[in-house]
Amino acid sequence: MSRSARTVANLGFVSAMAISLGACGSFSGFGGSSQPAVQDAPIEREMPASIRADEIVGRWGLASYQNPNDRARTEAAARGQCKQPYVIGAGASGGVMMHLADEATPQELRLKGSSSGKNYIGPPGPSGGEKDREIVSFDGRVLVTRFLDKDAATRYGNMVYVRCAPRA
């Protein structure tokens, strides 16, 4: 498969995930008020993460879950997505190339740490920003993230990335 065909396939997969997961959210109805997301974690200045960008660059199977009891099943489903992997690339400035919530085009994001020991992936700026996602867990083979924006977190759930085996 050519690189451009793979990029189109990856974009199609991410778009399909966004549409299908978006259908799981709730709607406030016509004329309903839209309240800004409330943050649980205070925003703090950007600190180095304990996970390096090169540790998460690669090919990943991707799936998501809402209910923690579904994590094992979701990891198995993500493994099955390695036929059409989500590719996390290396960014030009030392970050990683990934999608923000609801964005069709990947952009360079940074891995950021915090004084509480949590790690985040997001655009440059303080840790815990609204566009960041928290790295819930990472063991080298399985990466679980959750968007901090309440609306995105509700729609996408816990994103499970399972590292695909290297090509033979």
Q: In one letter, which amino acid is 47?
A: M
- Is 28's pLDDT higher than 80? no
Q: Which own/partner pairs from 17-25 qualify as long-range (CB within 8 Å, at least 24 positions apart)?
A: 17/62, 17/64, 17/156, 18/102, 18/156, 21/64, 21/155, 21/156, 21/157, 22/155, 24/66, 24/154, 24/155, 24/157, 25/151, 25/154, 25/155
d(CA 150, CA 4): 33
Q: How many Cβ atoms sit within 10 Å of the Cβ of residue 147? A: 25
pLDDT confidence of residue 165? 84
- Average pLDDT value for residue range 106-129: 95
Q: Which of 4-18, 24-38, 50-64 has the highest mean pLDDT?
A: 50-64
Any bridge partners for residue 90, and if so which?
96
Query: What does the pLDDT look like over 84-114, one tens digit per residue?
Result: 999 999 999 999 999 999 999 999 999 999 9
Query: What does the pLDDT look like over 142-154, one tens digit per residue?
Result: 999 999 999 999 9
